[in-house]
Amino acid sequence: MSRPAVSYDELDERLRGDGRSGYVGLSAIDGLIAAVVAGPAVVPPILWLPPIFGDKMPQTKPGSLEERIVNTVLNRHDEVETLLRNAPGSYSPIFMHDKGKLHVDDWAVGFALGVGLGGEAWGSIVLAQPRPVITPIMVVNPILSKMLFRVAPDDRRKLRATAAQHIAPAVLQLYAVAQGARTTS
């Protein structure tokens, strides 16, 4: 169910503003949402919304700009969930574009935040051998990259260079693995 919202451009502009608000931009929000939806743990909005809004739960008044901004985030969550469940081939992450160049770093930072919110449930996925399902995501994030123990530095550079092409399939595969884990537990 779609709620009254703002455009993604307006969401990004409002949240990132001067860069000092503690809020995160659209690409990082999308990465966080991907981890929450596709991950092995059920993470309620009361836990994943505050990191988006400067570590506090947004207080909204009906019809306000704040409510429409929160609705945009919730609508994207619902969209990702629906796509991964019903039309996985249609899922596409929202990466930043700057001067014609695609940047996946912010998305990967948001994803890592989502992994942190899922806690121990991520352990078997992140530490899977020989390579975790989310290797294309991990290689982009400096912290997660350090957990790729069995991936040589040259291979990491190659994976990083093509990560944007492999992140959506990794999220789809993660969703399938996580759904299997959720139904067997």
Q: Choose between 99 and 86: higher pLDDT.
A: 86
Q: Reply yes or no on whether the pLDDT at 67 is more than 80.
A: yes
pLDDT value at residue 103: 85
Mean pLDDT of 154-162: 91
Which residues lie closer than 8 Å to 65 by C-beta, 6 or more apart? 6, 14
Answer whether residue 86 is part of any domain.
yes
Give residue 95's pLDDT band: very low, low, confident or very high (50, 70, 90).
very high
- Kindly calculate the radius of gyration of the chain based on its CA atoms and give it in whole angstroms: 16
The reply to whether 1 falls in a domain is no
As for how many domains the chain has, the answer is 1
| Structure-token match 């294309």, residue found | 136
Q: Which residues of 51-89 are buried (b: 16+ CB within 10 A; e: fewer)?
A: bbbeeeeeeeeeeeeebbbbbbbbbbbeebeebbeeeee
Q: Is residue 2 part of a domain?
A: no
For residue 109, is it within any domain? Answer: yes
131 — pLDDT class (breaks 50, 70, 90): confident
In a domain, residue 3? The reply is no
> 4-52, pLDDT tens digit by residue?
889 998 998 888 765 555 567 899 999 999 999 999 999 999 999 999 9
158 in any annotated domain: yes
- Assess whether pLDDT exceeds 80 at residue 91: yes
Q: Is residue 40 part of a domain?
A: yes
For residue 31, what is the domain's CATH number?
Answer: 1.20.120.740
Domain extent at residue 54: 8-184
**Domain assignment of residue 37, yes or no:** yes
